[in-house]
Structure formats: structure tokens, C-alpha cells
């Protein structure tokens, strides 16, 4: 399985192409890391497993999603993300990208 370089970095604002929600990337996997059962149930469009997948905090919600790279676009609005975990993970929003707080393991 060939791995690809991630298009989005931690702290970048993104928009889901199909469901149109906004969010911020908090982690990235070089390839799909979920279970086959999750993929069958949740990944209805059957995105490639050998491309990057992202953990995204969803704007105006209190949950995160796991999204294939092909379903995301860069969000250029520059508007902050309203999610309870944003303040725990990031310091501030600067030019459309959240800056991480100190060291995150």
C-alpha cells in the first residue's frame, strides 16, 4: 500500500465537501486506521484507505469526525471553530491556522 503526504496539517481549517461542515484538523493518519466494520458502516462513498485520513473537530458541535482527505477542502473563511476542545489544544487562530499549545503527545 503506497502512502501519500498529508494535504492538511494540524490546526488547519477545513470544510467537508459532502456534508458542508467546517472544522479544524487535530490529527492525521497516513492511511485509514479504523476497523473494517466502521469503514463499511460510515464511509458510504468508499474513499481510498491508502490515502491520508483526518481527525477533525466539528464547528458548532462537541464531537470529532474521521474523514478521508478526498472529502475535505481548505476552509479559507478565517472564522474560528466553535468546539469545546479547541481551547484545550490550541492557543489562537492566526491567518486561518490554529497554533498548538506547547507540546502535545
Nearest to 97 by CA among 83, 69, 76, 72: 76
Grid cell 486506521 is found at 33
* pLDDT 10s digits, 3-40: 578 899 999 999 999 999 999 999 999 999 999 998 98
Instruction: Give me the domains of the chain, ranges plus CATH numbers.
Output: 13-100 (2.30.30.390)
pTM, full prediction: 0.89
On average, the pLDDT of the chain sits at 91
Sorted by sequence, the CB contacts under 8 Å of residue 17 that are 6+ apart come out as 70, 71, 72, 73
Amino acid at each position: 500500500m503506497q502512502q501519500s503526504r498529508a494535504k492538511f496539517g494540524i490546526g488547519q481549517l477545513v470544510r467537508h465537501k459532502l456534508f458542508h461542515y467546517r472544522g479544524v484538523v487535530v490529527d492525521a493518519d497516513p492511511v485509514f486506521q479504523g476497523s473494517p466494520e466502521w469503514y463499511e458502516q460510515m464511509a458510504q462513498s468508499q474513499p481510498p484507505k491508502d490515502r491520508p485520513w483526518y481527525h477533525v473537530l466539528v464547528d458548532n458541535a462537541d464531537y470529532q469526525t474521521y474523514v478521508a482527505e478526498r472529502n475535505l477542502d481548505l476552509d479559507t473563511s478565517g472564522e474560528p471553530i466553535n468546539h469545546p476542545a479547541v481551547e484545550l489544544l490550541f492557543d489562537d487562530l492566526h491567518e486561518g491556522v490554529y497554533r498548538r499549545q506547547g507540546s502535545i503527545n
